[in-house]
Amino acid sequence: MPHYRMFIDGEHVDTDESFDMVNPSTGEVWATVAKGTTEHVDAAVEAAQRAFESSGWRDTPMADRADLIDRAAARLADRLDELSALAAQENGVPVRLAAGLLIGMPIMHAQHFAEMARSFEWEAPVGEAGLVRKEPFGVVAGIVPWNVPLVVGTWKVIPAIATGNSVILKVDEKTPITELALAEALTAEGLPPGVLNIVTGDAEEVGNHISAHPGIRKVSYTGSTPTGRTVMRHAAENVKALTLELGGKGANIVLEDADLDRAVDGSLWAFLVNAGQACESGTRLLLPESIHDEFVDRMIARMKTLTIGDSSDPATDLGPVVNARQRDRISHYLEIAEKEGATVAYGGTLSGPQYETGYWIHPTVLTDVTNDMKVAAEEIFGPVVSVLKYSTVEEAISIANDTEYGLSAGVWSTDNDRALDIARRLDAGTVWINDWHVLSGQLPFGGFKQSGFGREMGPNALDEYTQEKAISFDDGAPREEKLWQAVLSTPPSAAS
């Protein structure tokens, strides 16, 4: 059985205790991973600080750093099929999707960050008497979820090391493999020991220790809003910088003039990717009363064509959820939905021998939903969409914004100007028009309200891992004309 170790100070580190890694399609333990503790975090911080101070990485020319990142990305690309298969085993993402989303996308983003690094401006003059200089924080940490681990890990690691920081990456014990592969690829291409360290461990013990550690100057966390609040509290102890990308309840607004064939497929894509286990999923579907029934019927007919099965099968469209806890949590929300008056327009139990093991949730469409129901207000994190009716566009915008979240939203229309006008009025960090889950490295990603703050990707992705220093030059004015005279009013000759 494969066993995966942590990666600290350029070496693989094992422990006496380990986590079981369970294949969501079968429920079987197929690998183990070392179980880290606070002592491993401390060792990683020491290694990272030592690397920041003496490895020479922070002084390496940006072009050389960018070249190293590109070479590491090429190494991952050479392992695309292997890593896609492993990713499918880790968290149940269908292998066909894993190749594009879980492995292919982060490779492209790493290459994009490398290109950004080549033109990064460390110092810029301001007026005639000053300049603004950017400098790395030093030791920074990333805390990564299990749903798209290498995607989010790349967003944190590559900008951080590109700008000269050292990194501790806390990975989820269910999905450590692809982040370890990233560390191994970077190290093989010459990244000094200690610049990137990978640790595992229980969230409450290890995650909280990272958030509160005085040697870590910034934490970038991706995960649930409740845990994000905990990270903030711990980070406040040392007033450390934060980026928080938290939960979502994306409103997907279909207008009457939308191309229905396109909008139906796109709306399924919006909430079914990774069995709905994506923070920016479109899980609230807002439909005009005039097309509600037709749209729901079309969507259900399309869902019946999906192949639901083992994530390792290339023919699979939709796989299992990650574990029994997640399956039971989603099932509980479906029970609540019916008690609150929602209708299960499509759903039920998956039957057949292939579903007797593993963690399966039937993709579900809930109608007769109102925005005050739990299934419309809370993040379910599963293949479930809540359909809400609206009568006017103003009502749709009001419903969309009536949430504590603000991560994503979408608008479907054949009138781009009209869609853009609505997009500008939605309280969300990302709004897609006639699409969903488009995560371009050129655009920033992050949330409004309780979906967090700070941005990953976009034109300022590297800036997120630097701090600004203002340097001011003497303006050359005679001494007697300086503002000093407000305090030193006695002429020097008289003072002597």
What are residue 166's phi and psi, to 5 degrees? -105, 150
**Closest alpha carbon to 1 in 44, 39, 30:** 30
When pLDDT is cut at 50, 70 and 90, the band that residue 483 belongs to is confident
- Extract long-range pairs of 362-365: CB within 8 Å, 24+ residues apart: 362/308, 363/272, 363/276, 363/303, 363/306, 363/308, 363/318, 364/334, 365/296, 365/299, 365/300, 365/303
Residue pair 15/7 in contact by the 8 Å Cβ criterion:
no
Q: Mean pLDDT throughout 180-205?
A: 97
User: What pLDDT does 246 receive?
Assistant: 97
When pLDDT is cut at 50, 70 and 90, the band that residue 479 belongs to is confident
Tens of pLDDT, residues 311-347: 999 999 999 999 999 999 999 999 999 999 999 999 9
Ranges of each domain in the chain: 3-245+462-470, 251-433
User: What pLDDT does 128 receive?
Assistant: 82
pLDDT at 18 over 90: yes
User: What pLDDT does 496 receive?
Assistant: 55
Annotated catalytic residue 378? no
Q: Which amino acid is at 355?
A: Y
Q: With both helix axes pointing from N to C terminus, report the angle between 149-162 and 80-91 in degrees, rounded to the nearest 10.
A: 120
When pLDDT is cut at 50, 70 and 90, the band that residue 493 belongs to is low
Compute the half-sphere exposure of residue 210: CA atoms within 13 Å on the CB side of its CA: 33
Catalytic residue selected from 184, 279, 456, 464: 279
User: What pLDDT does 491 receive?
Assistant: 66
Annotated catalytic residue 245? yes
**Cβ contacts of 162 within 8 Å, gap of 6 or more:** 62, 65, 66, 69, 113, 114, 116, 117, 120, 462, 465
pLDDT at 85 over 60: yes
Tens of pLDDT, residues 356-385: 999 999 999 999 999 999 999 999 999 999
When pLDDT is cut at 50, 70 and 90, the band that residue 437 belongs to is very high
Compute the half-sphere exposure of residue 151: CA atoms within 13 Å on the CB side of its CA: 22
Q: Is 3-245+462-470 a CATH 3.40.605.10 domain?
A: yes
- Structure-derived torsion over alpha carbons of residues 25, 27, 30, 35, reported in degrees to the nearest 10: 120
Q: Are strands 123-125 and 130-136 parallel, antiparallel or unpaired?
A: antiparallel
User: What pLDDT does 139 receive?
Assistant: 98
**Closest alpha carbon to 250 in 266, 234, 233, 227:** 266
List the single range of 156-165, 228-237, 480-489 with lowest mean pLDDT. 480-489
**Cβ contacts of 11 within 8 Å, gap of 6 or more:** 193
User: What pLDDT does 475 receive?
Assistant: 82
User: What pLDDT does 495 receive?
Assistant: 55
492, with CB counted inside 10 A (0-12, 13-18, 19+), is exposed
User: What pLDDT does 137 receive?
Assistant: 98
When pLDDT is cut at 50, 70 and 90, the band that residue 480 belongs to is confident
The DSSP letter of residue 354 is G
Catalytic residue selected from 173, 245, 379, 456: 245
Q: 251-433 architecture in CATH?
A: 3-Layer(aba) Sandwich (3.40)
pLDDT at 477 over 90: no
Tens of pLDDT, residues 248-296: 999 999 999 999 999 999 999 999 999 999 999 999 999 999 999 999 9
Q: Are strands 343-346 and 196-199 parallel, antiparallel or unpaired?
A: unpaired
% of the chain residues with pLDDT over 70: 98
Mean pLDDT (the chain) is 96
266, with CB counted inside 10 A (0-12, 13-18, 19+), is buried
User: What pLDDT does 476 receive?
Assistant: 81
Bridge partners (DSSP) of residue 198 are: 7, 169
